[in-house]
Chain A
Amino acid sequence: MALEAGDRLDKESRMRALLAMVKIRLAEEEIQNLFMANLVRGTTHLAIGQEACSAGVALALCEGDSVTCTYRGHGHALALGMSLRALMAEMMGKESGACRGRGGSMHMTDKSIGLLGANAIVGAQLPIAMGAALTAQVKGTGAIAVTFFGDGAANIGLFHESLNMASVWKLPVLFICENNLYGEYSPIRETTPIDDIADRAGAYAMPGVIVDGQDVEAVQAATAAAAARARNGEGPALLELKTYRYGGHSRSDTGPYRKPGELAHWQERDPIDMLAARMYSDGELDQEEFLEIKDALAQEVFAAVEWAKAEPFPPPQSLADYVYASD
């Protein structure tokens, strides 16, 4: 089965994608500042450069669909519709955060938008999405589930268990690999004997599709095609989005292990610039409008951060809340 990418979106959808990607980038740049200012603790993993993946997939999903993703998940949360306030408050461990401060950067979760959770154990989120797909299958809701993971996660044993079982049960679930060429500090070519993770799909009798992960329209189209197939009872698919993170793996990693020129090469195909350029040439956007959009979103991010800073932490006596259903 060939899933054809390359369909073009209408102006409205393009605008939604553009807004989502710019919002993600600005929010994550601000998160890095907050980290450096010690307002965000522990660690944080940015997806700057990978925005088309989360934005493109989100555009292809419907209400009622479910998503699990990784610790590199701020973009997925925002693309699915998490509010900037809930995100920023969670980053700072505040009671009004998406997870009431219990989750933090690596566990962004918002049931109301179908985000079942970001996971900090590599690969652990795959079967959790399958469970949501099982619910959809048992109840006949027509919903699907999507799980995002990295190239590194494709070497986790659970990747094999999950794709195999999802295929045998024909679960309506999409396995979406964001191949950013590195797992932590190790280049994929040193940990994985093949270049394309999508090649593994054949072993599970499901379509494996390589997608330009910098092209939000290609991501949307490939996802929509696989989603239609899954909704139709034809089972799972593996999508491999070729992408790149501009920053390091986490925190203050500057990425010294990268080849010289590699970053600049990928930045030439920046997902936001690529879409904006297309919209300019199709007369759907001009530079002034784009500046206004960026300005407005920057204001929104700034306001959310200022709001979150002033929010209270969870009360210390609530430390044992939410462990059991009765708490």
Chain B
Amino acid sequence: MRRMTYRQAVTEAIAAEMRRDDSVVFFGEDVAKPGGVFKVTPGIYEEFGPVRVRDTPISEQAIIGTALGAAITGLRPIAELMFADFIPVAMDQIVNQVAKYRFMSGGQFTVPLTIRASQGGGGGFGTQHSQCAESWLMNFPGLKLAVPATPADMYGLLRAAIRDDDPVIVLEHKSLYNLVGDVDLEAAPGELGKAEIVRPGQDLTLVATQQMLHRALEAAESLAEDGISPEVIDLRTLVPLDGETILRSVQGTSRLLIVEEAPRLGGWGANVAALVADEGLFHLDAPIKRVNMENALIAYSPALEDEIIPNARKIEEAVRQLLSET
């Protein structure tokens, strides 16, 4: 076991896979010599050299397209897009190429490609550098989507993504880069498609990811003082989605609250709600509730940014409201 930050877990995961497999290459804007704009990848270039680790021009589409071409011809690329807000710049390559390449060819290719980007609000980066991208990316069969919330999961899921034969987008929440946790560097890679019950409880199920997971846990801690015991689930990957763990939890708690760092309309939580409405309605004693951002945008001003992104207090209130309804 080693204590390390979420940021270091990224570096360790990339380094571990590059040591293990010569076909792993890594490129993106300012990731090699500079070590990344969030200093997430220092030392990778020094250890693995300029053939396998490259700085690219500011060319998001070319980065993803080149990574795809490399993936279908025998490399296992890790492509970084810096801020997840830049994903739309490369959207055609992600949606029409990466996601569809295997299918369109009738299975002639696999696409062992990992795309990394850093997402999320709370840092005062303004409207174009603070969004969460996962809900944009769920409507494209062919992609997988991981959203690790802890250093251990970052290490486990990023390695799983690199080893996976499908394209996996790994979104790193930038508010978590300094989060410290224990990481077993010898552990087997994580499993894509497995949620985790991070806090067992009986009174309701709280489903969250990344920054919202930590805020949900904070709310749970405070609620526990009043004898309320939420069960908190970290989804870890959104595609595949571990519906089984959610349904089993709801069966025990009879109530569901979904916490998302995304606007309400079209957020991934709607899919979780639909799943439970579909397959778990008769477990429920209360309507399914969601805590989201309003259908508004993230402002630069801290007064507005702090207000729009759900916090522990809002989650706590929503829990009390939900429990009072039944």
Residues of B within 8 Å of A168, CB to CB, are 57
Q: Across the interface, which residues of B come within 8 angstroms of A152, CB to CB?
A: none
Number of A-B contacts (CB under 8 A): 147
Query: B59 to A111, Cβ gap below 8 A?
Result: no
Chain B residues 8-47 with CB under 8 Å of chain A are 25
Interface residue from A101, A110, A134, A321 paired with B66 (Cβ < 8 Å)? A134
Complex alpha-carbon distance, A98 and B107, angstroms: 10
A127-B110 in contact (CB<8A): no
- State whether B104 touches A117 (Cβ < 8 A): yes
From A101, A126, A127, A134, B75 is in contact (CB under 8 Å) with A134
**0/1 string, B109-148, CB within 8 A of A gives 1:** 1110000000000000000000000000000011010000
Contacting pair B102 A322 (CB below 8 A): yes
Whether B326 is near chain A, meaning CB under 8 Å from some CB there, is: no
The answer to whether A127 touches B52, judged by C-beta atoms less than 8 angstroms apart, is no
Given known A99-B105, A103-B105, contact A128–B59 (CB-CB < 8 A) = no
Contact (Cβ within 8 A) A116 B103: no
Bound Cα distance A102, B51 (Å): 36
Task: Tell me whether B74 is interfacial, beta carbon within 8 Å.
Answer: yes
Q: Which residues of chain B are within 8 angstroms of A157 by Cβ–Cβ distance? A: 61
Nearest CB to that of B25 among chain A residues? A138
Chain A positions within 8 Å of B103 at CB level: 102, 322-323
Q: For A109, what are the chain B residues with a Cβ–Cβ distance below 8 Å? A: 104-106, 108
Please indicate the chain A residues that have their CB under 8 angstroms from the CB of B61 in the complex.
Answer: 127, 157-158, 161
Q: Which residue of B lies closest to A156 (CB)?
A: B61
Residues of A close to B111: CB separation below 8 A: 325
| Residues in chain A near residue B75, CB distance under 8 A | 131, 134-135, 138-139
Does A80 count as interface, using CB distance less than 8 angstroms?
A: no
A207-242 vs B: 1/0 string, CB under 8 Å? Answer: 000000000000000000000000000000000000
Number of interface residues of A (CB under 8 A): 48
Also in contact, A127 and B104, with CB within 8 A (given A165-B59, A325-B165): no
Within 8 A of B (CB), among A154-182: 157-158, 161-162, 164-165, 168-169
Q: How far is the CB of B104 from chain A (nearest CB, A)?
A: 5
Instruction: From known contacts A100-B107, A121-B97, A138-B75, infer whether A127 and B69 are also in contact, taking CB-CB under 8 Å.
Output: yes
B211 at the interface (CB under 8 A from A): no
A52 → chain B, closest Cβ, in Å?
26
Which residues in chain A, 19-69, are within 8 Å of chain B measured between CB atoms? 66, 68
What 0/1 readout, one digit per residue, does chain B (47-75) give for beta carbons within 8 Å of chain A? 00001101011010111111111111111
Task: Verify if A201 is at the interface (C-beta below 8 Å from B).
Answer: no
Cβ-based interface call for A91 (8 A) = no
Interface size on B, residues (CB 8 A): 44
Q: How far is the CA of A72 from the CA of B101 in the complex (A)?
A: 18
A135 to B77, CA, bound (A): 10
Q: How far is the CB of B203 from chain A (nearest CB, A)?
A: 37
Interface centre among A124, A135, A165, A324, by most chain B C-beta atoms within 10 angstroms, is: A324
CB contact between B105 and one of A117, A121, A127, A129 (< 8 Å): that residue: A117
A157 to B61, CA, bound (A): 9
Are B70 and A161 in touch, CB under 8 angstroms? Answer: no
Assess the B65–A99 pair: CB atoms within 8 A. no
For residue B178, CB closer than 8 A to chain A, the reply is: no
Q: In the complex, are the beta carbons of A323 and B102 less than 8 A apart?
A: yes
Q: Which residue of B lies closest to A99 (CB)?
A: B106
Cα separation A325 to B71 with both chains bound (whole Å): 13
Q: Are B65 and A131 in contact, CB atoms less than 8 angstroms apart?
A: yes
Asked whether, in the complex, the Cβ of A139 is within 8 Å of the Cβ of B68, the reply is no
Listed residue (B63, B108, B109) with the most chain A CB atoms within 10 angstroms of its CB: B108
Residue in B61, B65, B69, B93 whose Cβ sees the most chain A Cβ within 10 Å: B69
Q: Among the listed B51, B56, B72, B104, which residue makes an inter-chain contact with A131, where contact means beta carbons less than 8 Å apart?
A: B72
A308 within 8 A of B: no
Q: In the complex, are the beta carbons of B59 and A322 less than 8 A apart?
A: no
A237 to chain B, nearest CB (A): 17
Q: Which residue of the partner chain A has the closest CB to B109?
A: A111
Q: Which residues of B contact A (CB under 8 A)?
A: 25, 51-52, 54, 56-57, 59, 61-75, 77, 92-93, 96-97, 101-111, 141-142, 144, 164-166
New A-B contacts (15) at CB < 8 Å, excluding given A137-B51, A145-B69: A109-B105, A111-B109, A126-B62, A128-B66, A130-B66, A134-B25, A135-B73, A138-B25, A138-B75, A161-B61, A165-B63, A322-B103, A323-B142, A324-B102, A325-B165
Using a CB–CB cutoff of 8 Å, the interface residues on chain A facing chain B are 66, 68, 97-103, 107, 109-111, 116-117, 119, 121, 124, 126-139, 145, 157-158, 161-162, 164-165, 168-169, 320-325, 327
